[in-house]
Structure 1
Amino acid sequence: METIKLFSGGLLGTYLLLSTLFWPSLSKPHRLPPTTPNNTIQQYLIPHNTQRSKLGLPPLKWSQKLEKYASWWAHQRQGDCSLIHSNSKFGENLFWGSGQDWKPSDAVAAWAQERSYYNYKTNSCAHNKDCLHYTQMVWRQSLKVGCSKVKCECGDTILACVYDPPGNFIGQKPY
């Protein structure tokens, strides 16, 4: 019976092997790849920033930290697909769509359509209409956003976007 030795040299060989394997990981910081591809990130950012640019507001920047939080919360809703807010320290927009063929831009477009229900002069939404998704999108102090899309167990889709700093403070106008 023939035995094959992969390494010889005892402790010295083991040390050299381990140092070659682990030294590069110690000398260079690891950058985790983004969890969302750049083209998908742009599907969230472009429509957000289009609305903001119409008002002369600075563009939102993508935050992986907020993306991870949005993903965590969307996955919490995966079982029931309910539009229940997380009540976190962040601003938050949620979107539900029947079926799974929803793009990020569809959710952002739905929120942007609420612009027609917002009255800047009175800083209020039209009677029985929602406009708070829109006002969060264009909240002047909100500078970062992270979003996530999840297929629910029932086959529907939920999308969450999280904003920092948050917006929609009572008595304050968004811009």
Structure 2
Amino acid sequence: MGVESIVCSFVVLLALLAHEASAQQGNESYLAGHNEARSLVGVPAMVWDASLVAYAQRYANAQRAANSCRLLQPSNGPYGENKFWGSPGKRWSGEDAVSSWVALRKFYNARSNTCVPSSQPCGVYTQIVWRNTSSLGCASSVCPDNSTFIMCSYNPPGNIRGQAPF
């Protein structure tokens, strides 16, 4: 093997390691944000689930392919879900998405188990802190208009009518 082949192999290896490290760092920001919110209300931490990542990535890719990276359609799948849309012109992260969902906790009234006012979508927050949800997987897609679509999937799903999250 020549020097050029060795250098080329080394460059490919470094690129693969950098990609893996970047993906791992992204996963950790999703999981850390969720688990920080959960710790504040005394529910157990979640774990990262590759099958939920794959599910969320398929949905995000389908949204991109359909040129419909908006938050309109539920996946109608077996998991809980939170979705985030970030406008073009910024590199949106998992941390941005999770922070936006957790910020909606201010609209959740634990005494009445309702969103106050009812027009506020605090269900994205209650899904994050749902006591029985134990695993999480998130994925993102850059849309044709350069916006960003992020989806997190939760198993088992939360937001069961008539039950409180914690």
What SS class does the counterpart of residue 53 from structure 2 fall into? helix
Contact 1:152 1:158 in 2 (8 A): yes
What SS class does the counterpart of residue 50 from structure 1 fall into? helix
- The amino acid across from 1:145 in the alignment is L
What SS class does the counterpart of residue 159 from structure 2 fall into? coil
Say if 2:41 is the partner of 1:50.
no
What SS class does the counterpart of residue 78 from structure 2 fall into? coil
Where do 4+ consecutive residues of structure 1 move more than 6 Å? none
Say if 2:96 is the partner of 1:106.
yes
Mapped to 1, the partners of 2:70 and 2:56 lie a distance apart of 14
Structure 2 residues without counterparts, runs of 5 or longer: 1-19
Per the alignment, residue 47 of structure 2 pairs with: 61
Residue identity (%): 38
After superposition, residues 89-128 of structure 1 pair within 5 angstroms as 89-99=78-88, 100-127=90-117, 128=119
Coordinate RMSD, CA, aligned: 1.6
Q: Choose which of 140, 145, 155 in structure 1 pairs with 2:146.
A: 155
What TM-score, normalized to structure 2? 0.82
Q: Choose which of 147, 156, 159 in structure 2 pairs with 1:165.
A: 156
Higher helix share: 2
Contact 1:74 1:159 in 2 (8 A): yes
Contact 1:80 1:153 in 2 (8 A): no
Structure 1 residues without counterparts, runs of 5 or longer: 1-33
Per the alignment, residue 140 of structure 1 pairs with: 131
Contact 1:94 1:160 in 2 (8 A): yes
Say if 2:63 is the partner of 1:73.
no
